[in-house]
């Protein structure tokens, strides 16, 4: 934790080495989540459950064409709908926004162009949702249609018309990156076996059960509060500040409990901007609830990615080098896409020793809903490629796939070829657990035809090392308020999306202070009242909020201990906080209640409040673009999946999944289990059936390019019947970077599932499907193919731009590129920005918006 945030009192306390101790009852126990009761009684208030006096409703009018200039918009029929109150168009909210400072390419309502079917064009308000719906349907929009881009191949091959007029790239390329970590050719020359494979990962979407919704409530002349089902209230606050042109202090964003997020509620959205603006125009609370179909248009889900992966292996299975190329289909807007592009390459190095590594990635624009971060953000696609290719290598080398991975395991605390600083690595124990549990050694390769086992691994961040916009401030802040009631109010910007972050926050504070969850009152995810936490993304909350919470609670404990210690005439270092008491460790009967101790402290120090904050330490990389992938530490997972395959039809059924996850330490094992099982479920959905795909009608007859199935019926997500039994192992190996040793669990366990299924199908019937999702017809086609494989057959010509060369640590590198293009003009589509804006760009952006970042 960063020293600059520590108070003089803390420093003094440290100097005297007088820290009291705690004995908590929650951490490590499967305690009931703090919001558990509300969730089973219907009391949890989701955004659409909020009702305010005089509330009215807004519907967005969305584009029905995929790519066009917007002409006249006719509201005359809409005005006739009884209850109609008004409308907004693009010119009413002309300032662009976007989650990344480098991609401010969205408008609340189309200014000039629409770029996909579903792009918001106008908004109408009415007294009821019925009336708003009728009015929205009655709005007439003229479009001057443009040619459309439907796929990543088309985007690369079709420079005109451009979906976005970007200065930094050409045609319909959004972002291109290219890196050479070490001497690739030397690495490949060492290889005895050289595999060169193509993989394709179809796009899919989060499908949170709750549709996005928000309510904007105007207050005074120029204040507005937005209640929204968002994972990132702080970033929504920043976007609203920009778009509404109001000072940040006049806008309050409160994240309501999210009915599932999975990354789909991490962007600022048009409906949020529109609700806030309409509330200010009408002077009334405004609610927007998206339909399920509209949620498919918000999307920001998994990018479709085409991959080419060349990897060298020695005879004994050592990995010598890898060259990965990825092409992403980004959809119509930037969203997190620049980061997603880096993520398709960043984490290939963290599981196995990869001495030399080359990565080229490019993101394209297409006329489809924008892609963004979904559980695993950009890494499930290359992880699929990596783990399937390892399976192929194991077969070619005659080495057991589990053994091949164990031989190559990365070392704890290592710095990878791309300069990621690793922490603890529990992957060996993960692999051993699933190998043992599944009977792998006795059963792999030996099951009857039609039955097979597949193994795969994965790793994920425990929070992104850098914030989304450039700044030096903490990533998470926690504030405590203690008073004579003996209760503790905890304030934090963190956002509960179902993962249990409220419970982690409350339990950490309760355990440090030795009190009960019932003594804690939470105030969270409120930009007026709570310290900033960047949001529920990148698996960052437990680690970052957790560390901040512990710091705040320890500072509070320090104050209370000083007062109690004096009264008890016991040195502070002997004091124990437990069972709602403060007492002498040597004579536990000598003590007082926690409340009595707080009263003494309040009398002595005045009103009691402490803060804690967390900022990740800087990673060793110094090349540009290195911000993506760095993290305080990484979680690891391994899975074995057993499948039954019918070779006559290609139908298959996962029969069992064994999964082990390196959690560091389970703060609440039942919540950890829930994340593991939920990840397995979502991974199986992606592996088996889920896909966000589109229909283009015959171009001679129609220019339509539409989502094929924007409904919960036709977008297939697994039901109770489709979920196999799962055996979960929680591998505990506390990581010093984590709060009480904890690492992430929300995303990592998804990663091994898709490749494990593909590898299991190979073991069952000897056919490879190098593609996700694996439809039964693909299995059937692979079985009849000459190479017994189904998957992409071609990789397009791509200009990734001039590569950045970064010598690896083993080659004596210092984390810098030797040919940083900052020092020379580049041409073509090469762009050398990191995910973050540079400091200069951040300052420019602040200037443009007329405000300071906050």
Partner 1 sequence: MLRLPPFRLRTPSSLEEAARIVAGEGPAARFVAGGTDLWPNMKRRHQKADTVVSLMAVPGLAELRGDTGGNLEIGGTVTLDRVERDERVQTRFPALARAVASISSPPLRNMGTIGGNLCVDTRCTYYNQTEEWRRSIDYCLKEEGTVCWVAPGSSRCWAHTASDSAPMLAALGARVRLAGAEGEREIPLADLYRDDGIDYLGKRPEEVLSRVVVPAEADAGHCRSAFWKLRRRGSIDFAVLSVAVALWQEHGVVTRARIHLGAVASWPVGAEKAAEALVGRPVGDEEAIREAAKLVRRVATPMDNTDFLAQWRGVMAERYAESALREASGLEVTGLAPNHRLVG
Partner 2 sequence: MSRAVTATLRVNGEERTVAFPGHHTLLEVLREECALTGTKHGCELGECGACTVLVDGRPVLSCLTLACQHEGREIETVEGLADGNRLGPLQVAFADLGAAQCGYCTPGILMAAEAMLREQPRPSRERIAEQLSGNLCRCTGYLKIVEAVEWAAAVRRGEDAGPPPEILFGHPEPGRPGGDAPGRRPSETASSNT
Scan residues 36-95 and list those touching partner 1 (CB under 8 A): 48, 62, 64-66
DSSP string, 705-735: EEES--STTTS----GGGPPPEEEEEEE---
Single out the segment in contact with partner 2 by CB under 8 A; choices: 69-77, 402-410, 445-453, 707-715: 707-715
Is residue 448 near partner 1 by the rule CB under 8 A? no
Return the residue matching tokens 């922490």. Answer: 423
- Alpha-carbon distance 390 to 401, whole Å? 7
- Could you tell which of partner 1, partner 2, none binds residue 35, using a CB distance below 5 to 8 A set by kind? partner 2
Q: Which is nearer to partner 1, 137 or 473 (CB)?
A: 137
Q: Residues 183-222 vs partner 2: string with x where CB under 8 A?
A: -----------------------xxxxxx-----------
CA 236 to chain CA mean position, Å: 16
Q: How far is it, in rounded angstroms, from Cα 350 to Cα 831?
A: 25
Residue 134 or 410: the one with the smaller Cβ distance to partner 1 is 134
Helix (H, G, I), strand (E, B) or coil at 380: helix
Write the CB contacts of 17 (distance below 8 Å, at least 6 apart in sequence): 573
For the residues of 815-854, what is the DSSP string, one character each?
Answer: S--TT-GGGS---TT-----SSPPHHHHHHHHHHHTS---
Task: Identify whether the C-beta of residue 367 lies closer than 8 Å to the C-beta of residue 66.
Answer: yes
Residues 127 to 156 in contact with partner 2, rule: CB under 8 A: 130
Comparing CB distances to partner 1, the nearer of 506 and 778 is 778
Task: Report if residue 825 touches partner 1, rule: CB under 8 A.
Answer: no
Which residue in the set 23, 157, 651, 670 belongs to the binding site for partner 2 (CB under 8 A)? 670
Evaluate whether 764 touches 643 at the Cβ level (below 8 Å): yes
> What is the C-alpha to C-alpha distance for residues 720 and 552, in angstroms, rounded to an integer?
42
Residue 698's binding partner among partner 1, partner 2, none (Cβ under 5 to 8 angstroms by kind) is partner 1
When asked if residue 275 is in the footprint of partner 2 (CB under 8 A), the reply is no
Out of 499, 527, 595, 837, the residue judged to bind partner 2 by CB under 8 A: 499
Partner that binds at residue 45, options partner 1, partner 2, none, CB closer than 5 to 8 Å by kind: partner 2
Query: Considering only residues 682, 687, 742, 836, which one is a binding residue for partner 2 as defined by CB under 8 A?
Result: 682
Q: Which of 257, 351, 424, 615 binds partner 2 (CB under 8 A)?
A: 257
HSE-CB of 829 using CA atoms within 13 angstroms:
21
Return d(Cα 480, Cα 487) in angstroms, integer: 10
Residue 51 partner contact from partner 1, partner 2, none using kind-dependent CB cut-offs of 5 to 8 Å: partner 2
In whole angstroms, what is the distance from residue 642 CA to residue 187 CA?
Answer: 35
Exposed, middle or buried: residue 16 (CB in 10 Å: 0-12, 13-18, 19+)? exposed
Could you tell me the strand order of the sheet in which 357-364 lies?
A: 771-772, 193-201, 305-313, 319-329, 357-364, 173-181, 804-806
CB 66 within 8 A of CB 704: yes
Pick the piece of the chain touching partner 2 (CB under 8 A) from 431-439, 525-533, 617-625, 776-784: 431-439
Tokens of 120: 């918001």
Is residue 258 near partner 2 by the rule CB under 8 A? yes
Q: Which of residues 663-692 bind partner 1 (CB under 8 A)?
A: 689
**Strand (E) or helix (H) holding 524:** strand 520-524
Residue 334 in contact with partner 1, rule: CB under 8 A:
no
Q: Is 727 in the site for partner 2 (CB under 8 A)?
A: yes
Q: Which of 589, 720, 786, 812 binds partner 1 (CB under 8 A)?
A: 720
**Smallest gap from residue 139 Cβ to partner 2 (A):** 21
Structure tokens at 693: 């795909």
Binding part of the chain for partner 2, among 28-36, 170-178, 270-278, 408-416 by CB under 8 A, reads 28-36
Contact partner at residue 678 from partner 2, partner 1, none, CB < 5 to 8 Å by partner kind: partner 2
Beta carbon nearer to partner 2, 523 or 709: 709
Where do contacts with partner 1 occur on this chain (CB under 8 A)?
A: 48, 62, 64-66, 117, 129-130, 133-134, 137, 211, 289, 291-293, 644, 646, 648-653, 689, 695, 697-698, 701-702, 704, 706-711, 713-714, 716, 718-722, 775-777, 780
């Amino acid at each position: 934790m960063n020293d600059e945030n520590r108070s003089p009192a803390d420093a003094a306390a440290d100097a005297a080495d007088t820290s009291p101790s705690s004995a908590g009852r929650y951490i490590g126990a499967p305690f009931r989540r703090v919001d558990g009761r509300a969730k089973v009684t219907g009391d949890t208030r989701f955004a659409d459950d909020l009702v305010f006096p005089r509330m009215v409703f807004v519907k967005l009018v969305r584009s029905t064409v995929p790519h066009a200039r917007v002409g006249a918009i006719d509201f005359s029929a809409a005005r006739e709908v009884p209850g109609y109150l008004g409308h907004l168009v693009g010119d009413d909210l002309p300032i662009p926004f976007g989650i990344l400072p480098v991609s401010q390419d969205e408008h609340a309502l189309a200014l000039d162009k629409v770029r996909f079917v579903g792009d918001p064009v106008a908004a109408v308000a009415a007294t009821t949702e019925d009336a708003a719906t009728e009015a929205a349907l009655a709005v007439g929009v003229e479009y001057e249609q443009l040619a459309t881009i439907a796929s990543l191949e088309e985007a690369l091959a079709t420079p005109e018309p451009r979906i976005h007029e970007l200065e930094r790239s050409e045609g319909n390329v959004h972002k291109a990156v290219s890196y050479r970590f070490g001497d690739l050719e030397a690495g490949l020359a060492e290889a005895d076996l050289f595999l060169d494979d193509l993989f394709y990962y179809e796009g899919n979407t989060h499908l949170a059960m709750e549709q996005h919704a928000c309510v904007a409530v105007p207050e005074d002349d120029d204040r507005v509060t937005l209640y929204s089902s968002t994972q990132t209230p702080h970033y929504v606050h920043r976007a609203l500040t920009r778009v509404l042109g109001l000072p940040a202090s006049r806008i309050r964003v409160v994240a309501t409990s999210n009915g599932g997020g999975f990354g789909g509620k991490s962007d600022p959205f048009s409906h949020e901007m529109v609700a806030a603006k309409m509330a200010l125009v009408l002077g009334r609370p405004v609610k927007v609830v998206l339909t399920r179909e509209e949620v498919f248009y918000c999307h920001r889900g998994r990018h479709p990615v085409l991959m080419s992966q060349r990897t060298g292996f020695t005879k004994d299975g050592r990995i010598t080098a890898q060259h990965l190329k990825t092409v992403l289909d980004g959809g119509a807007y930037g969203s997190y896409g620049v980061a997603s592009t880096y993520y398709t390459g960043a984490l290939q190095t963290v599981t196995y020793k990869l001495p030399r590594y080359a990565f080229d990635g490019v993101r394209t624009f297409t006329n489809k809903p924008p892609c963004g971060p979904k559980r695993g953000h950009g890494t499930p696609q290359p992880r699929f490629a990596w783990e399937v290719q390892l399976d192929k290598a194991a077969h070619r080398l005659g080495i057991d796939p589990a053994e091949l991975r164990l031989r190559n395991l990365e070392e704890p605390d290592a710095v990878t070829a791309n300069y990621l600083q690793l922490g603890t690595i529990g992957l060996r124990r993960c692999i051993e657990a699933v190998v043992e549990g599944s009977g792998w050694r006795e059963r792999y390769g030996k099951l009857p035809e039609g039955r097979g086992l597949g193994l795969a691994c994965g790793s994920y961040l425990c929070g992104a090392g850098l914030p989304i916009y450039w700044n030096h401030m903490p990533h998470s802040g926690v504030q405590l308020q203690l008073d004579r009631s003996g209760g503790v109010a905890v304030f934090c910007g963190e956002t509960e999306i179902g993962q249990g972050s409220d419970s982690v926050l409350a339990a950490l504070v309760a355990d440090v202070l030795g009190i009960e969850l019932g003594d804690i009152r939470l105030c969270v995810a409120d930009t007026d009242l709570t310290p900033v936490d960047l949001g529920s993304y990148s698996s960052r909350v437990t680690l970052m909020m957790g560390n901040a919470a512990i710091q705040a609670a320890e500072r509070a404990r320090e104050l209370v201990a000083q007062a109690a210690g004096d009264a008890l005439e016991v040195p502070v270092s002997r004091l124990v906080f437990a069972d709602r008491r403060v007492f002498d460790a040597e004579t536990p009967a000598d003590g007082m209640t926690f409340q009595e101790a707080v009263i003494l402290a309040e009398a002595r120090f005045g009103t009691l409040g402490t803060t804690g904050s967390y900022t990740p330490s800087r990673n060793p990389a110094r090349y540009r673009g290195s911000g993506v992938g760095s993290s305080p530490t990484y979680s690891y997972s391994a899975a074995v999946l057993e499948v039954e395959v019918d070779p006559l039809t290609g139908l298959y059924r996962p029969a069992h999944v064994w999964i082990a996850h390196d959690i560091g330490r389970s703060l609440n094992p039942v919540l950890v289990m829930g994340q593991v099982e939920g990840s397995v479920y979502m991974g199986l959905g992606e592996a088996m059936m889920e896909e966000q795909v589109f229909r283009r009608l015959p171009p001679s007859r129609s220019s339509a390019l539409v989502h094929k199935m924007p409904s919960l019926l036709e977008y297939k997500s697994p039901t109770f019947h489709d979920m196999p039994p799962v055996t979960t192992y929680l591998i505990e190996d506390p990581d010093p970077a984590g709060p009480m040793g904890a690492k992430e669990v929300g995303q990592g366990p998804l990663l091994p599932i898709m490749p494990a299924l593909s590898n299991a199908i190979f073991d069952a019937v000897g056919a490879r499907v190098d593609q996700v999702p694996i439809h039964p017809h693909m299995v059937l086609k692979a079985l009849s193919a000459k190479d017994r494989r189904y998957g992409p057959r071609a990789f397009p010509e791509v200009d990734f731009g001039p590569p950045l060369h970064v010598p690896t640590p083993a080659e004596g590198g210092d984390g810098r590129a030797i040919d940083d293009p900052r020092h020379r003009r580049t041409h073509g589509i090469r762009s050398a920005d990191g995910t973050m804006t540079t400091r200069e760009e951040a300052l420019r952006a602040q200037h443009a918006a007329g405000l300071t970042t906050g």
